[in-house]
Amino acid sequence: MKKIASILGIFAISAASYAHDGSFPTDSITNPSLSNLSVSASVEYTTAYMFRGDKLAGHSIQPNIELSYEILGFDAYAGAWMNEPLKDKKNKSTGELENLEEVDFYAGLNYSLSIFVFDVGYQYYWYPSDHDGKYYDSEIYAGITIDTTDLLFGFNISPSVYYYYNFQLETHNIEASISYEFPIGAYIGLNNLTLPLSANCAYIKSETSEFGHYMYWGATADLAYAITPNISISGGIRYCDRFEEKDCAGYFYREKSDHVWYGAKLSIEF
């Protein structure tokens, strides 16, 4: 838990430095307005549901909705995400779960300071198809993302580092990622066409030997087209791989756990 306190401490110090200059905007409280509210929604079809190096389901539909509101210089947000498998959730012969149905609820705060964005939040995972809907877990997270536009001559690769702690599984997860939206359409006369690219790597350590320790990494490449300023479609390829730690001794080995899958998404913002 010391790692949690350290990251939350960084966030608190940053927020405090902003408060000391007395410039916290209070308009969103004293004069509530829908102009401070943002809503985004999406629905994605994916050939597999992969989560932190594990395949949890095959072909699935994944809807998501999120609301955010600017308050006291922070962006408060809350949302819900779901994975709904398109095939039977359990094997009819063995009764074992093969495709996980999942509903996630989350909420958090974003705070921007210069080129940095600090983020803290909480997420609740509910699994309706597992143990007759009685199984769940939850975690807190904190992270920082950097806007590198001014540092890299106009290129923003959005490097970020996040820390997650899962209370039920007792796992610590540190994940680093980068992403870049390549303006491919500018070269072929379609300014609304882009090529979003991303990559991530992470290490998960469990406080119990049952879950184990492992590393995973992945990458995505999509084609995205903005139909209007508020509506876009995208689709592409995803990849991930997982490496187990042998006897918790710092030596990792691969167990043919790499996966390639595909996805397509419709996104709306207003």
Give the type of residue at 74. F
Q: Which ranges of the chain have pLDDT less than 50?
A: 1-22, 251
Give residue 124's pLDDT. Answer: 98
Residue 212, sorted as left (phi over 0), alpha (psi -120 to 50) or beta, turns out to be left
Residues 6+ positions from 122 with CB-CB distance below 8 Å: 106, 107, 108, 138, 139, 140, 141
Give residue 98's pLDDT. Answer: 85
For 120, 141, 143, 166, 167, the CA distances from 4, given in Å and listed in that order, are: 10, 8, 10, 11, 12
Give residue 257's pLDDT. Answer: 59
List the CATH number of the domain containing 171.
2.40.160.40
Give pairs for 116-124: CB < 8 Å, separation 24+: 116/14, 116/144, 116/145, 116/146, 116/147, 117/144, 117/145, 117/146, 117/147, 118/10, 118/11, 118/14, 118/15, 118/142, 118/143, 118/144, 119/143, 119/144, 119/145, 119/162, 120/7, 120/8, 120/11, 121/77
Give residue 200's pLDDT. Answer: 98
d(CA 67, CA 80): 9
Provide the domain count of the chain.
1
Structure pTM? 0.85
Output DSSP code: residue 89: S
d(CA 252, CA 243): 6
- Reduced 3-state DSSP string for 92-137: CCCCCECCCCEEEEEEEEEEEECCEEEEEEEEEEEECCCHHHCEEE
Q: Which domain holds residue 140?
A: 2-269
Residue of 40, 62, 38 whose CA lies nearest to 50: 62
